[in-house]
């Protein structure tokens, strides 16, 4: 059941990986999130804090 759901949604889900560094700092912060494509025109859905 879950295997079929994962296979079906794999074509619509993309991972977002990011790195950032604050000015004057040497520490690198890593991040990841998920983006879901909702139609063939390229509209995508994600969380507000990811888009910011």
Could you give the C-alpha distances from 32 to 2, 18, 27, in angstroms and in order? 23, 6, 17
Q: What is the pLDDT of residue 23?
A: 94
- pLDDT higher than threshold 80 for residue 45: yes
C-alpha torsion angle, residues 15, 46, 51, 28 (rounded to 10): -30
Question: How many whole angstroms separate alpha carbon 37 and alpha carbon 2?
Answer: 20
The pLDDT tens digits for 6-39 are: 888 777 778 889 999 999 999 999 998 888 888 8
pLDDT band with cut points at 50, 70 and 90 for residue 47: confident
Q: What is the pLDDT of residue 19?
A: 92
Q: What is the pLDDT of residue 28?
A: 94
């Amino acid at each position: 059941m879950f295997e079929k759901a994962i296979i079906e949604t794999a074509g619509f889900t993309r991972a977002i990986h990011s790195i950032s560094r604050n000015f004057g700092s040497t520490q690198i912060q890593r991040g990841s999130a998920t983006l879901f494509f909702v139609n063939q025109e390229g509209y995508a859905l994600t969380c507000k804090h990811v888009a910011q």
